[in-house]
Structure 1
């Protein structure tokens, strides 16, 4: 049975997407009657590529808010978070089996920054105990930045290459289907981490 769940609470706003730069990458013209329809397609391609890159690397490209639910800590005093980079933990709650929640004092925990595996750690010896049948919910902010300029160059290029691949093959399959092109995989290699079920430490 799965003992964790990650929910994206906010989405990437349209203005944060590099739509014009992607058009330049594709060498598409402007000023046509169907520009609006084209923009909707390109936005969908970019979002699909971003989602695929984030899923493959565990790195959040543009800042969003997340809630992570876990049924048991992997370690008594610390717990790796499921994605990176994490800029802040905004709230930690412990819920009993009936759903009654206790908000944990921020002084009782801290966030350990790490490029690949940020962690929630106890300020003392132990993280708050999760009751039998209960769960912990961690609200946090993750992402390299709020605009495209903050995304590392190799990840940004990987998004463009993958989105262009989707554009080229858009009539052949649903967005995101199939293996990633070799060039994209090469750009992602240094960002990939071993994904451990439940966010355990590596």
Structure 2
């Protein structure tokens, strides 16, 4: 499986001012905004978001992804690797010879779930993927477009982790261990993912 993030959250959606306040960085009428500082804080927030998302499998701010498979894990239902999924935007089947077919939206449906969202067929099975071909599922996932839509504990975890990255910025390398406070906040959101689907890949028919 290959998973690609097709869009990124806009800077305006990130709580840069909240991180600045958390760090107690100077800011006032007599102090001009420092663009380099803002860029650095934005980078820390994006890095912290990526870490929390990787640990939990949850997408915080809404954006679009593409999942590419050589075949379905299970022809009766394909588990999606991230949550919460809001929509299946398109499914393309490549026959391996350069011809791509867009599947009819009426042939599949999204089974929404906060832990294991599923792409399910409306008939008995998902459409067959040709030998040597692939299927690409383009979907949108995330709690919302605004920071306020993110669950409070996950939002706080990102803020704490971004603050740690800021504090450790003068050190070479990075600390592999996640701070205990951050781990405690994200623990209940973690999900166990097995093989990216309901079972082992079945043979092609």
Q: Give the TM bin, normalised by the shorter chain.
A: over 0.9
- Distance (whole Å) between structure 2 residues aligned to residue 61 and residue 68 of structure 1: 18
Q: Once the 2 structures are TM-superposed, how far is the Cα of residue 33 of structure 1 from its aligned partner?
A: 4.8
Instruction: Verify the 8 A CA contact 2:58 2:83 in the aligned structure 1.
Output: yes
**1:150, distance to aligned residue in structure 2 (A):** 0.3
The SS at the match of 1:47 is helix
Aligned to 2:55: 56
Deviations for 1:14-59, whole angstroms, at most 9, x for unmatched residues?
0000111111111112143562111111000000000111111111
Aligned to 2:188: 190
1:5 aligned to 2, 5, 29, which one? Answer: 2
Distance in 2, matches of 1:71 and 1:145, equals 30
Distance 2:41 2:66 in 1: 28
2:161 maps to which residue? 162
Alignment partner, residue 111 of structure 2: 112
| Cα contact 2:27–2:33 (8 A) shared by 1 | no
Q: Number of aligned pairs?
A: 197
Structure 2-normalised TM-score? 0.92
| Preserved CA contact (<8 Å) 2:84 2:142 | yes
Give 1:173 deviation, angstroms: 3.3
Q: Partners in 2 of 1:122 and 1:178 — Cα distance?
A: 41
Give the TM-score taking structure 1 as reference length: 0.93
Note if contact 2:86-2:142 (Cα within 8 Å) is conserved in structure 1: yes
CA RMSD of aligned residues (A): 1.4
Alpha-carbon distance, 1:195 to partner: 2.4
Instruction: Identify the residue that residue 28 of structure 1 maps to in structure 2.
Output: 25
Aligned to 1:179: 177
Runs of 5+ unmatched residues, structure 2: 200-205
Shift in Å, 1:163: 0.5
